[in-house]
Structures are given as structure tokens and as C-alpha cells.
Amino acid sequence: MSYQFDSHMDTGNLSRKKWEYEIERTGFQDLLSFGTADMDYHSPEPVLDAIRGVADAGHLGYPHIRDSYYQTIEQWLERLASWKINGKESVTPHVGIYMACITAMDAFSEPGETR
């Protein structure tokens, strides 16, 4: 799948926290954002189709993570880097990047560590 990430979209009618909040907070209209919450380009059609499929099913809660999720990660890591892992023991799914970072920091540091 190829995609043009340099195309621009009209964002005038969108409410985007990373932009509107920071403009309001700082008063600067020409900010550079290094946030992770959303992107500044139109989402690819396969992503939009997947979201439409979930919305059409009518359930927007958190899904149960199936074994196929872990198996896909295991297969990808083995193909990409020749790593053999147990996905259920090695992967912790999160719904947000910040909670995932906190999990990683907890895993790789000790209480009271500052570096």
C-alpha cells in the first residue's frame, strides 16, 4: 500500500486538541507540534474502512485481545528480526502511548531511580 503523506487536508472544521489547546494556552498560531495524539494528514482508506467496520458493528467499547493478535506480532518479529517471543508474556496492549510508556518505564527501572 502506498500513500501520499505530504497531501494537506482542510482542518478548519476539526477540533484537534494538540493544536487548539496549545494555541489557546500560548497565544501562538505558528506552533510546531511534537505530540502523538493525532496526525496532520488524511488517514489512509484501509484505516478508515476498518474504523467504519467497527462503527457499523455498533460496539465502541474496548475489545478482548484475541490470540491471533499475539500470534501476528510473534510472526512479524520472527520474520523481521528472527526473534522468537511468547506474545502473551512479552506484549502488553495499551489504548494510549503514554500509558504504554509508563509500563515500559516501570519494566526497565527501579522505584526511586532518576536516570
Question: From CA 90, how far away is CA 99, in angstroms rounded?
Answer: 16
For the chain, the average pLDDT equals 84
Question: From CA 36, how far away is CA 89, in angstroms rounded?
Answer: 26
**Where do the structural domains in the chain lie, given as residue ranges?**
1-60, 67-108
The answer, as to whether pTM is greater than 0.85, is no
Half-sphere exposure of 105 (CA within 13 A, CB side): 11
Residue with cell 496492549: 93
pLDDT in tens, 34-74: 765 556 677 888 989 999 999 999 988 888 899 999 999 99
Residue 2 has pLDDT above 60, yes or no: yes
